[in-house]
Structure 1
Amino acid sequence: MSGSRLTRWVVAVPMALLALATIYPLVFTTNVAMKTRREYVLDRFSPATSLHLDNIVTAWTSVGMARYFANSLVVVTVSVAVLLLLGSMAGFALSRLRFRGSKALFLGCLAALFVPFQVIMVPLTRVMADSGLIDTYPGLILAYVAQFLPFTVFLMTSYYRTVPAEIVDAARIDGNTTYGVYRRIMLPMGAPALLSVGILNALFCWNDVLISLLMMPSADHRTLMAGVTSLRGQYSDDIPTFASGVLIAAVPVLVVYLFLQRQIADGVTAGSTKG
């Protein structure tokens, strides 16, 4: 066997095993969701004999997954919109405007990326409680914006620094104000980065459990992932229904990954370019 073929096998085999380890839990969860409770108790590892969709219908209607799904959709949509607006404006200011403290501000955003949420969750919860924002949509949205804004600012600043300065200078010569340069030049040119960062932030917010549990303690306001965690205790004796809830929560994320893989990869590497 030639050296190149051996190298390919050395890379391909671990990657195949990793892919199998990643796909198997989803296949197993789908198989369990298709079973009746009796079939699961008798043999949890055997293939489902038929497409039993009653568990998914029960999880969507009776368990409350539809309400959790709507809550997540509202919170994620508003949070991502605010993050993109603030992140693009801050990225433009830090990359193209020269003002006192701009470098320190950028370094502060960069340093905030290394602060785990567990370090700030107690003071954040107390501030939110004192402000009357616990168990409200604005409170959860503000928490998401505060948590993921440094990441958004960092990536947008790095991307805007790759835009040639001549384009900005030409826009100013044409009579554009600072806001005009941002709206007419930088915002359209930053569309690829905004799309990538928006997808990543949407996934971060959608998959979050800890912040949602802290900000939304009541059952009516829970997001989808927090709702799934509550099913574990409520339906511990009905594993097929619990698996159906997990499947409902996982499907939107899988769809995003399948159709927007390139944009997600671009977003991950957007901040690696040299400014």
Structure 2
Amino acid sequence: MMRTGRWLAAVPMAALALATVYPLVFTTNVALKTRHEYVLDRFSPADSPQVDNLATAWGSVGMARYLTNSLVVVTCAVALLLVLGSMAGFALGRLRFRGSRTLYLGCLAALFVPFQVVMVPLARTMAALGLIDTRPGLVLAYVAQFLPFTIFLMASYYAHIPVEIVDAARIDGNTLFGVYRRIMLPIGVPALISVGILNALFCWNDVLIALLLMPSAENRTLMVGVTSLRGQYSDDIPTFAAGVLIAAVPVLLVYLFFQRHIVQGVTAGSTKG
């Protein structure tokens, strides 16, 4: 009976895994084909695998420039999110002051506001400040969009830290900032790693915000660049597949090496400790 139950669970999970892996395998196979091979048979293995399409996508198409833009923007955005989110999370999760509950509920409510609701006011504000088509403008937009999520996770994590730790640090003469810097920040490193990875994935995979705020081809992020390839290379699917593969590899590596931290970030605050 137990073996039957295992098979009933294993079969759909294997089917789900196959459905997840097959698109990546198919894209890799197409990226290694010539245009002629793809037209003749798109599903068969490449007769003579080659990297010409990858080189074209990387150099001529501009994927290298798009990758650089994404790396700079995502790194700066995640750094700001971790600093601001950890400080606000400590204040809202561990301290009690007038209006703290209201601020926490406000951050929680912001999670339910879709970006489409605020994108027109955001674009007008960015244009008025001269931040359209600039990396700082996109960084600030990412921080504004994902800061409530970061605060929520960090506040949930810090809320389970015993209050006696904060009291003991204050008795030893630490200021609130000293408690945060010397005590709470080191304790919160596991949560910071998890939320940092999640925010990096959110920013990296974003298309809508980057497309709205970075209209020029020179400043496109990687995902926007891949989206633009669909129109430019609609008759050259192998080159388009090569661009998709280049964009997918960094995300895939993050998932493979940091999957444990990603799970911890998703479940942060659901259990004590």
Paired residue total: 273
Aligned-CA RMSD value = 1.0
1:94 matched to 2:89: no
Residues 186-201 of structure 1: matches in 2 within 5 Å?
A: 186-201=184-199
- Give the drift of 1:96: 2.1
Q: Deviations over 1:40-93 (max 9, x none)?
A: 111111101232101001100000000000000000000000000000000011
Distance 1:96 1:207 in 2: 32
Higher mean alpha-carbon deviation, 52-61 vs 95-104, is at: 95-104
Task: Determine helix, strand or coil for the equivalent of 1:49.
Answer: coil
Residues 210-229 of structure 1: matches in 2 within 5 Å?
A: 210-229=208-227
Which amino acid in 2 is paired with 1:238? D
Q: Which residue of structure 2 aligns with residue 167 of structure 1?
A: 165
Which amino acid in 1 is paired with 2:264? D
- Give the drift of 1:274: 6.1
Q: Which residue of structure 1 aligns with residue 240 of structure 2?
A: 242
Residues 149-168 of structure 1: matches in 2 within 5 Å?
A: 149-168=147-166
Distance 2:8 2:121 in 1: 49
Q: Which residue of structure 1 aligns with residue 110 of structure 2?
A: 112
Percent identity (aligned): 79
Please report the TM-score for the alignment, with normalisation by the length of structure 2.
0.98
Residues 236-275 of structure 1: matches in 2 within 5 Å?
A: 236-273=234-271
Higher mean alpha-carbon deviation, 206-215 vs 92-101, is at: 92-101
Distance 2:30 2:87 in 1: 47
Gaps of at least 5 residues in structure 2 are: none
Distance 2:257 2:139 in 1: 26
Task: Determine helix, strand or coil for the equivalent of 1:47.
Answer: coil
- Give the drift of 1:14: 1.0
Q: Which residue of structure 2 aligns with residue 75 of structure 1?
A: 73
Q: Which residue of structure 2 aligns with residue 39 of structure 1?
A: 37
Which amino acid in 1 is paired with 2:145? Q
In the TM superposition, structure 1's runs of 4+ consecutive aligned residues that sit over 4 Å from their partners are none
Gaps of at least 5 residues in structure 1 are: none
Q: Which residue of structure 2 aligns with residue 63 of structure 1?
A: 61
- Give the drift of 1:168: 1.2
